[in-house]
Amino acid sequence: MADAAAVTAAVDAPRRRLASAAVYLRTMLVFVLLWWALAAWTANPALLPTPRAVAEALVELIGDREVFMHAGISLGRMLIALVVACALAVPLGLLMGTSPLLDAIIDPTVEMLRPISGIAWIPLALFIFGIGNALPLFIMTYAAFFPILLGTIAGVRQVDRRLVDAARTMGVPQRTILTRVVVPAALPALLVALRLGVASAWTAVVAAELIGAPSGLGYAVEWYRELLMTPQVMVFIGVIGLLGYACDRAVREVAARYTPWAAETRAMA
Amino acid sequence: MATSNPRTPLPSRIVMAAIDMSVSGDLPLGIATSLGRVFAGFAFAAAIAVPLGLAMGAARAVERNVDPLIETFRPIAAIAILPLAILWLGTGTAAAVLIVAYAAFFPIVVNTLAGAKRIPPTLLRAAATMGLSRFTTIRTIIVPGALPAIGVGLRIGMGVAWTAIVAAELAVGAKAGGGGSGGIGQMMFIFYAYSIELNRIIVCMIAVGLVALLLDRGIRTGMRLLMPWGVA
């Protein structure tokens, strides 16, 4: 019975995917038509360009590689910021999750800083770093740090005590317990944390680049707004959304691949 | 040492700056302006997102047709549409409210939908068997069942809204050449750009953090009082 149902589901899967793609296209088509009508009614290309104008801007920006340049810069910054944030937050989270003493010492500072959003650091960071690469990197690292840290701590705490006790009974040294028992068991929670970190870093990069960077997607959006080239503004906004989605998707794929057993992974899918 | 420079931040100077700014009324006014915008935008977002989420949860057809739109726009950060908001609505309160509403909309609608879909199907079947109308089903089963999830959505939405208003005011302050309309974010930018006063910037940052904390705690407490059965 169950097998038959599974087979039917597997056979139906492509068809269902096709159907949902069709629904997606239908909805977006309605959206584009409404947009077109509104643009025609406003008749002010600087205020609301037609979808056609935006499409032409997109082709043009792809043609002269400008989209790729800014997207590459923003993505590169995010990648560096994520690596730095993970390098700081994951070990710290492992320590805080395993040692109540360290947790008691560090947690008050974390709880004090956490409500101050990365964006609120922008003026001070502008003063310290000036306009350039360091500012968006700092803001993104800061924004990604807290979700990753809290996720790591929570992940470590929910590791089954019995696994750790069993390893200890068998005489496994403390460090090996950490790398071979705690980290694999906490991995699904770590990936959820990484996903939240990516989302918050990507939001922060746009804000940071908008205000204080000479390049990147956020900068490009603001640059074209000042030139009143609204189609280009919309292209870059679209690219920001698309890449944000792609990054999120990438983390989910990693989770599905490396931690397929975990409830967290299934909840994400 | 650099500490002799009156601009170097020191805890004592930050406290003095905080007292000074509170007594002069600048800080409370800035916070009040920003909070007013947050509440306005948040109210718009909730007024659209909660009914929409419930409708999507109650009717499969609505969900199928509206969901692509939401999933398409959700990854676009509110700050990214700020340039468009400035273009359409200028650098005043209207643009800020739009940004806040946009930012808060997505967490609220997504959580409301999730809450409405998590209602045990047996309850819905029982309602259908007993001949309840669609409207009564929504009012007596779906809304109460989804309420804790709506509460979570509102709480997350409020957090995002507060972050967004600070970002929006900062960016408006940065790009409108000071001709904006107040709020704590803009205040910070003025302290950075026109009168380099690091102590005051830090006071503003602390204020931003405190307000975020109080908003979060306030909604949490409110939810606990309103629905003790919830798991928010």
Q: Which residue positions in chain A have pLDDT lower than 50?
A: 1-2
Residues A137 and A212 placed together within one structural domain of the fold: yes
CB A206 within 8 Å of CB A222: no
pLDDT given for residue A265 in this prediction: 67
pLDDT given for residue A79 in this prediction: 93
The answer to whether residue B219 scores a pLDDT higher than 80 is yes
Sort out which chain A residues have CB atoms less than 8 A from B216's CB and list them: 115
| Angle between helices A66-98 and A230-258 in degrees, nearest 10 | 40
Task: Determine the 3-state secondary structure of B227 from DSSP.
Answer: coil
CA distance B141 to B92: 42
The answer to whether residue B140 scores a pLDDT higher than 80 is yes
Please name the CATH architecture into which domain B12-226 falls: Orthogonal Bundle (1.10)
Write down the domain spans for chain B: 12-226
Residues A174 and A108 placed together within one structural domain of the fold: yes
pLDDT given for residue B214 in this prediction: 92
Residues A35 and A54 placed together within one structural domain of the fold: no
pTM of the model: 0.84
Select the residue of B76, B79, B88 nearest A210 (Cβ to Cβ). Answer: B79
pLDDT tens for each residue of B95-123 = 889 999 999 999 999 999 998 888 888 88
What's the Cα-to-Cα distance from B83 to each of A131, A197, B56, B148, rounded to whole Å?
A: 19, 25, 31, 35
DSSP string, B90-151: TTSHHHHHHHHHHHHHHHHHHHHHHHHHTS-HHHHHHHHHTT--HHHHIIIIIHHHHHHHHH
pLDDT given for residue A260 in this prediction: 80
Q: What is the mean pLDDT of residues B48-65?
A: 90
Residues A76 and A35 placed together within one structural domain of the fold: no
Residues A12 and A88 placed together within one structural domain of the fold: no
Cβ neighbours for B198, distance < 8 A, ≥ 6 positions apart: A124, A127, B7, B8, B9, B191
Sort out which chain A residues have CB atoms less than 8 A from B96's CB and list them: none
Residues A29 and A134 placed together within one structural domain of the fold: no
**Mean pLDDT across chain B:** 85
CATH of residue A117's domain is: 1.10.3720.10
Q: What is the mean pLDDT of residues B164-189?
A: 75
What one-character DSSP code corresponds to residue A48?
S
CB A202 within 8 Å of CB A78: yes
Residues A136 and A236 placed together within one structural domain of the fold: yes
Pick left, alpha or beta for residue B138 (phi over 0 → left; psi -120 to 50 → alpha; otherwise beta).
alpha
The answer to whether residue B11 scores a pLDDT higher than 80 is yes
pLDDT above 70 covers a percentage of chain B that reads: 93
Pick left, alpha or beta for residue B31 (phi over 0 → left; psi -120 to 50 → alpha; otherwise beta).
alpha
Residues A115 and A21 placed together within one structural domain of the fold: no
pLDDT given for residue A84 in this prediction: 96
Tell me the ipTM for this assembly.
Answer: 0.81
Sort out which chain A residues have CB atoms less than 8 A from B76's CB and list them: 237-238, 240-241, 244
Sort out which chain B residues have CB atoms less than 8 A from A240's CB and list them: 75-77, 80
The answer to whether residue B1 scores a pLDDT higher than 60 is no
Task: Determine the 3-state secondary structure of A162 from DSSP.
Answer: helix
Residues A129 and A223 placed together within one structural domain of the fold: yes
The answer to whether residue B231 scores a pLDDT higher than 80 is no
Number of CB atoms found within 10 A of residue A24's CB: 17
pLDDT given for residue A10 in this prediction: 63
The answer to whether residue B75 scores a pLDDT higher than 80 is yes
Sort out which chain B residues have CB atoms less than 8 A from A115's CB and list them: 208-210, 212-213, 216
Select the residue of A119, A124, A234 nearest B163 (Cβ to Cβ). Answer: A119
- Residues 156-195 (B) with a CB less than 8 A from some CB of A: 162-163, 166-167, 170-171, 174-175, 185, 188-189, 191-192
Q: How many domains does chain A have?
A: 2
Residues A215 and A133 placed together within one structural domain of the fold: yes
What is the torsional sign of CA A190, A194, A200, A204? positive
Pick left, alpha or beta for residue A249 (phi over 0 → left; psi -120 to 50 → alpha; otherwise beta).
alpha
Of A107-111, B41-45, B222-226, B227-231, minimum mean pLDDT range: B227-231
Domain range enclosing A150: 49-268
More confident residue, B3 or A59: A59
pLDDT given for residue A181 in this prediction: 87
Contact A221 B64 (CB under 8 A): no
pLDDT given for residue B109 in this prediction: 94
Residues A5 and A38 placed together within one structural domain of the fold: yes
Select the residue of A31, A115, A126 nearest B213 (Cβ to Cβ). Answer: A115
Q: Side chain identity at A165, as an amino acid letter?
A: D
Search chain A and give the residue with CA nearest B67. A24
